[in-house]
Structure 1
Amino acid sequence: MTGATAQHLSAAAGPNEADGAHRLILEQFVTGVAVLTCGDAQDVEGVTVSTLTLASRRPPMVSVALRRGSRGLQALLSTRTFVVNALGARQADLARHFARRHRARGVGQLAGEAWSDLAEDGVPVLVGAVGWLTCRVRGTVEVGDHELVLAQVERAVRGAGAPLLNYAGGLHGLTEATLHTERD
C-alpha cells in the first residue's frame, strides 16, 4: 500500500477496541436514508434509518434494525404496518428532525413538515421522497441492542430525484447529474 496505512484487528482484540473499529469500517459503506412512518395523521410516529436492506426479492421483503426500546420500534410493532420514505438529496434537515430523540410526540412531530395524501392504510407519506414502500411486519429478531424487523413490501411507488445518502457519519445528496452520468 503506497501512502496509506491499514489498522488491523486481531481475533484477540478486546470488545471495546473491536466496537470502535467496526464503526469506523462500517462508516465507509454508503447507505440510503429513509424515514419510517407508522400510525395515522392523528397519532403518527416517524424515525430516521439508514439500516434498511433487501431481505428477499420473492416475496419482496425488507429488513431494518431499530434500537430496542425506542419509540419508533414500539410504534412500528404496535401498528404492524409502516411506510419507508426514501429521502431525496435535499431532505437532510428532515432526516435530522426524525433522528432526534426528544421531538414532539404524535401529530406534533409533523409541525412544519410536508405530508402528502396518506398511504392506502392511512400511514402518512413524506412530500419530496424519491420513493416509498408500504410494508407489513412479518417478524422480528433480537440482535444485541437492536431488533431486526422483517417486513413484506405491499406497495412500491417510485418518485423523482436523487437520493439522500449516509457516508462517514454525514448526510450527502447525490446530484441528478451524477445519478444520470453513472447510469449511462
Structure 2
Amino acid sequence: MPGRYYLTDPVAGLDNPPRRNIAPGEEVAVITKAGPRLMRWGLIPNGRVNARGRPVLETIINVRSETIFDKSAFEGLRRAVVPASGWYEWTGQKGRKQPWRISRKDGVQILFAAVFDVWKAPGGQEVPQVATVTCPPSADVIDIHHRMGFILELSDVPTWLDADESKASTLLKPFPDGRLFVEKADDVDWNST
C-alpha cells in the first residue's frame, strides 16, 4: 500500500493535471525540503548488488516504517512527501476483485511520508525516484489491507522533511482511527491515468 492512488488537486509550483489512476513507474508530484518536483514512483536502491556483484534493479514502491531507518538498502535516502487525494486497495479473489477508494473524511489532502534519491542508471542517466512509507493499518483500513501508507499531518511535514532520524521516527504511527472514508471504486477506468 499504496499500489495505486489519485491526485485531483494541484500541487503549488508544479504543472500536475488531475489524475484518477496513478501507478508505479509513473512520474508523480513530490514535495522535498528544497520544494516540489516530479519523480518516478519506484525506488531502485543505489549501490545494491547481487551475489555476482551486478546491480540489483528491483523497484521498491513502498518502504516499511518499521525498518526504514535500519536497513542498509535505505541508507542515505532523503525524506519527502507524496501528496494524494486518496488511494485504492482491492479485496476478493483474482479475477473478481473489488476496488476500494480511501480518502480522508475531512476532505484534506493526504500527505504520504516518502523517501527519495537519484538513481544513476547504466549509461549515466540520473533518475529522481521516490517510494512511499507504509505502516500498520488504522481500524478504517484493516479489513481491506494489512498495511497502509503513513499519513502525515500538515504540521508534521517540517519534522519529517528536516529533523534527525530519531525525531522523524516518532511520527511513524498509524493514522488515527475513524478519520478515513472507504467506499467502493467501481467507477475508475484502470486503463487510464
Q: Fold-level match, TM-score > 0.5?
A: no
Higher helix share: 1
Greater radius of gyration (CA): 1
Give TM-score scaled by structure 2 length.
Answer: 0.22
Give TM-score scaled by structure 1 length.
Answer: 0.23
